[in-house]
Amino acid sequence: MKYLCLALLLTSCCFVSKFSVVGEEPNKPRTLNNLEKQLVGSWIGGGPCVGNAIFQADGDFIFYGYGPGGGYREFGSWRIDSTQVPIRLTFQKDQASSDEPASEECVELVVLNKDCLDYKYASGRIAEHRRGTDRDDFEIRLDVLDSAVQTYLGNIDLGGGSQLPTELQSLIQVKLLPERALKDSLGNIFQYDLAGKHHQGKKPDIWSKDKDGNVIGNWMFDN
């Protein structure tokens, strides 16, 4: 009887171990290759329609300011295939809305070093970027949130030109942003004040803190 109980206990442990590992795998960040590690960080675009980008170590990206008018926001995952010639950088873009499917875009990686990122679209156009700073990373994320708040305000079915979102979570609920857009580079949720004390009530304040505990808010980047 003693050996039977021991066998049952070991069998149960095996099943628990097996299923706990399987359950954790989907949340495990993928391992970046050496070239991909060089891409991680913020990048500031040069020239019209290029915009700014953040490539995260977990394989996600944030684009802001791309396209005509410079107001496009895009999110998704990225990868570099260094086995091909030329080397390819692929963007797997999130579903833009309930009516638009997710899409994939592949560009040619022209230059990637500690200072510069250039890639070429299928059309032949080259997008040039310079390496950004931690502060640039905050600014890009805050610009994304600011633009989504204004989109909410201007949408006739949401803000109707007079109603701002009462909280940032509202932007997720109406599918203007993915959940991860509410976090800073350290994984902390951005704070939101509808009253906008730093903007004299003209627009909401949005902020977080850097690794040294310094407040970084959207009012710091007002032109």
Cα separation, 135 vs 137, whole angstroms: 5
Q: Which pLDDT band, with edges at 50, 70 and 90, does 19 fall under?
A: very low
Cα separation, 102 vs 44, whole angstroms: 25
DSSP class of 97: B
- Which of 7-11, 83-87, 216-220 is predicted with the least confidence, judged by mean pLDDT? 7-11
- Please give the share of the chain, as a percent, with pLDDT higher than 70: 82
Asked if 64 and 181 count as a contact pair (C-beta separation under 8 A), the reply is no
At 148 the pLDDT is 95
Asked if 90 and 103 count as a contact pair (C-beta separation under 8 A), the reply is no
Torsion of CA 41, 29, 192, 207, to 10 degrees: -30
At 134 the pLDDT is 96
Asked if 114 and 136 count as a contact pair (C-beta separation under 8 A), the reply is no
Q: What residues form DSSP beta bridges with 207?
A: 191, 217
Give pLDDT tens digits for 51-78: 999 999 999 999 998 876 667 899 999 9
Nearest to 207 by CA among 219, 194, 195: 219
Give the dihedral sign, CA 144/53/82/120: positive
